[in-house]
Amino acid sequence: ETKAPLDPEQPPCLDARKGLGPRPINNKYEMKYINIDPGSVGPLGDAIYSASSADLGLIDGSQVKYARLYWGGTRGIDDVVLPENQIDEVYLKVPGEPEYRNIANDQPSIGYITTDVESSYQASADITDLVRQAGNGTYTVANMDSVVKPHSWGGWTIVVAYENECKPFRHVHLWDGFRVELPDSPPREFDLTGLQTPAAGPVAGKLGFVVYDGDLKWTGDTLAIKSTNGPLALFSDLNHASNDAFNSTIEELTPADQFVRTPYNRNNFGYDSNRWDISPFLRNGDTDIKVLFDTDKDGYDLGVFYAYVNLDGSTEG
């Protein structure tokens, strides 16, 4: 995004990245690619024009069981629509390797959504072997494409499931798809099945997600949760108001986890990747979680969900 906002009521871009201003959203700025690796080249000798990174810091003794890379963005605005062969691949650089490699979508088809305002996409690929071999360190994704205009957005996330004897025994699940929730559409309800909580004792779990085009301080977007034996209740926490559930945040782990991402922004202009503590919503003997998405103002795209529930009565996160 440029330094000067399109809306004079909004702050300069550097302040908007910090979350300042009345509504510092992607609609209000001329967006641009993030590129932390200018001057580098891809596996075919082509220039790197977009790149960002995040560190993986699993605790000692962890064994990676599954890892999947998701990427998504704005495919089209007005008369500009990116062809599929421009969005079905990205470049990935793993720890310990100096060069990028090509990663292609391995789903049967790329997820597409088209509304009156824009069209968007989500692609993904299984990178379990790469993460298992490379381990902890910095992962960089480059040349992930999106239309570059006001209102555009895009980003990537790697979801990693791992085993470690020091962690509680857990049920771990990953669900993905691609659906839109708009102000004039009915709420979307999904059943995340296959979970299991202890029959007695403390219950603890977390729900992670990737959601696109959720805007900071553009309210009306909500997430309600109901477990098998619990009531339906709106989610909120210190960083998410109940009426602004998807607010362009990327969760930060504790300092002990040594988690780093580059660039580091509070406001990510239409990209949410978070992991929420849903322990208060869970009850003994639960087998599923019902999630209900709604909005009366801020539309958004639903992409990825994952959850884990402790089975041994532990409250450790």
101 plus 91 within the same structural domain: yes
Domains held by the chain: number: 2
Within-domain flag for 123: yes
pLDDT over threshold 50, residue 155: yes
**Residue 12 in domain:** no
Tokens representing 284?
């003994």
**Residue 254 clears pLDDT 50, i.e. is over it:** no
The predicted pLDDT at position 238 comes to: 86
Residue 11 lies in a domain: no
CATH number at residue 42: 2.60.120
Q: Write out the two tokens for 292.
A: 């209900």
Pick from 140, 166, 192: which residue ends a domain? 166
* R_g (Cα) of the chain, nearest Å: 19
Place of tokens 């998701």: 70
Q: What is the pLDDT of residues 184-235, one digit of tens each?
A: 999 999 999 988 899 999 999 999 999 999 999 999 999 999 999 999 999 9
Q: Do both 123 and 201 map to the same domain?
A: no
Flag whether 40 is in a domain: yes
Do 59 and 113 fall within a single domain? yes
49, 143: one domain: yes
Residues 71 and 36 in one domain: yes
CB 1 within 8 A of CB 31: yes
Sheet strands side by side (includes 188-193): 188-193, 288-295, 221-227, 233-234
Confidence of residue 258 (pLDDT cuts 50, 70, 90): low
Q: Are 175 and 115 in the same domain?
A: no
Query: What pLDDT, on the 0 to 100 scale, is given for residue 252?
Result: 62
CATH number of domain containing 192: 2.60.120.260
Instruction: Out of 128, 150, 166, pick the residue that ends a domain.
Output: 166
At a CB cut-off of 8 Å and minimum separation 6, what does 147 contact? 73, 74, 75, 76, 77, 80, 81, 82, 118
Residue 158 sits in which domain range? Answer: 31-166
- Domain match, 233 and 304 both: yes
Asked if residue 309 is part of any domain, the answer here is: yes
Q: Are residues 200 and 148 in the same domain?
A: no
Q: Tell me the sheet residues that pair with 244.
A: 221
114/224 same-domain check = no
pTM of the model: 0.95
pLDDT exceeds 50 at position 256: no
The answer to whether residue 25 sits within a structural domain is no
Of 117, 141, 166, the residue that ends a domain is 166
User: Within a domain: residue 2?
Assistant: no
pLDDT at position 316 over 80 = no
Query: In this structure, are 121 and 188 located in the same domain?
Result: no
Domain-located, residue 63: yes
What pLDDT does residue 3 have? 59
